[in-house]
Chain A
């Protein structure tokens, strides 16, 4: 796998020189556009392994990419699709997925519909979180956009209604409302976490209904918004039982878990003036779920926020920094799962201070160098980047990490 990553990295470093424009072609009098992107990262941490990569030894296992094709069939109707693939430590594992595939009909500027597999609009960056070439940062604030939980929010199979309503001197409103089914990757952070408990997930997903409303305010450069999402999620698979009390028993039996309540609320703001951009978001995620075939219940109340700033110093250089906070309250009736008594315990929070330099080598090729200074690891019962399985000798309370990530797109 390491050799494969090295080869991909080498290919990536050659590609930008070969590719410097989008690829267009015409078929049946329709113009088609093909675009693609890829990124490769190297992470090195002083102690804990992060995001299932072997970062304490230095890891190149951070690669992703995608390719899309789209066309405008009529003035109001467009179609397109994108395939995405990734390998990040033990996540993704080179299993390509259909990232989005949509048919989009815009009746009016204030009313359009799109259906198929649609990227989910939530907050500032949910639908673009995996497009590293768009971001200043090598990793977006992981409290809000966790790489290991990408597939749980990235898209839904269903439909959106959307539009832009001008408010004249009061700016403009953009809205999106959606409903559909979410289907998580079996190679994401949550299935990886459940392996720790002997659970092998075969299907994880369910109903998703949500809305996003954002207001372009009369103050030039200021955008504010709010998102809300309700979900009904069910996971099925198998659990490996190992009973050692009394007569020894081992076996595999069907497993299920489901959410009784699964809700996300998010508010956000962005201010741009000249070459400076400031983002801030707050999210509260509440989940009440039945686990272990309904024999136990876990409630989780996750609260996260971040503030980020980025300044483009020149055409080639952008500098950025953010402070990201993740904290949770949870209650479990699973034997042995006991929450630490207060939030100051490293198992109850994860705070990350980050500094980044992004260098745009060409219009289509960039390199980012980023330092992470993390306090806490937020426990082993929630997928938050630090996993017991990736850290068999235990997790230290603090982690420093340097991440170098290069990416191209055309």
Chain B
């Protein structure tokens, strides 16, 4: 019984941890993007280069961060790939002529600045990052 309780506590703890992680990331887009929300499937498709437009027809181009907590949380919660697996995936597309390497930037502020000035750009930043000049997409 004691062991079961410990297991349950750990399990719930992991669940809460994951929720906190997902909430740590904001999805941002250039003002040209018509959509105000995006589903997890759409987001995954956009960042795995299988999807180039959202349900409202807006063309989107993904922007990634090089590393950091927002990047780690985004990969884990939305793409289900490790950093090295994602890099391998992109390179397999680039070296077979199926896609270009996406823009990769160093920090939240750089991503916000790039998304603000680039038509169709969509990226992710930490939940507490300032996001002036871009729109924040709700998760469906």
Contacts and interface: CB of A to CB of B under 8 A. Distances in A.
Contacts of B59: 75
A226 B65 CA distance: 35
Interface in B89-139: 91-92, 94-101, 120
A272 B86 CA distance: 12
Contacts, number: 84
Contact of B95 (A71, A76, A134, A168): A134
Interface in A69-94: 70-72, 75-76, 78, 80-82
Given A164-B45, A164-B50, A312 B84 contact: yes
Contacts of B52: 75-76, 106, 109
A127 B101 contact: no
Most buried by B among A37, A131, A363: A131
Contact of A75 (B81, B96, B120): B120
B96 A119 contact: yes
A75 B33 CA distance: 14
A72 B102 CA distance: 12
Nearest to A68: B95
Contact of A128 (B41, B45, B96): B96
A72 B88 contact: no
Contact of A127 (B45, B53, B94, B96): B96
Interface in A148-195: 164, 166, 168, 172, 174
A33 B94 contact: yes
Given A66-B95, A134-B95, A33 B85 contact: no
A145 to B, nearest CB: 14
B80 interface: yes
A386 interface: no
Interface in A89-103: 100-102
A164 B42 CA distance: 12
A315 interface: yes
By secondary structure, the A interface counts as strand
Is chain B's interface secondary structure helix, strand, loop, or mixed overall? loop
Contacts of B87: 363
A35 B95 contact: yes
B100 to A, nearest CB: 5
A70 B52 CA distance: 17
A4 interface: no
B9 to A, nearest CB: 23
Contact of A119 (B80, B81, B97): B97
A363 B66 CA distance: 12
Contacts of A128: 92, 95-96
Contacts of A109: 45, 50-53
B82 interface: yes
Contacts of A106: 52
17 contacts: A35-B91, A76-B52, A100-B96, A109-B51, A128-B95, A131-B95, A134-B95, A164-B50, A164-B51, A166-B45, A174-B50, A272-B80, A272-B81, A272-B85, A275-B82, A312-B82, A363-B87
Interface of A: 22, 33, 35, 37, 66, 68, 70-72, 75-76, 78, 80-82, 100-102, 104, 106, 108-109, 114, 118-119, 127-128, 131, 133-134, 164, 166, 168, 172, 174, 220-221, 272, 274-275, 277, 312, 315, 360, 363, 409
7 tightest A-B contacts by CB? A164-B50, A75-B59, A119-B96, A102-B97, A100-B97, A127-B96, A80-B97
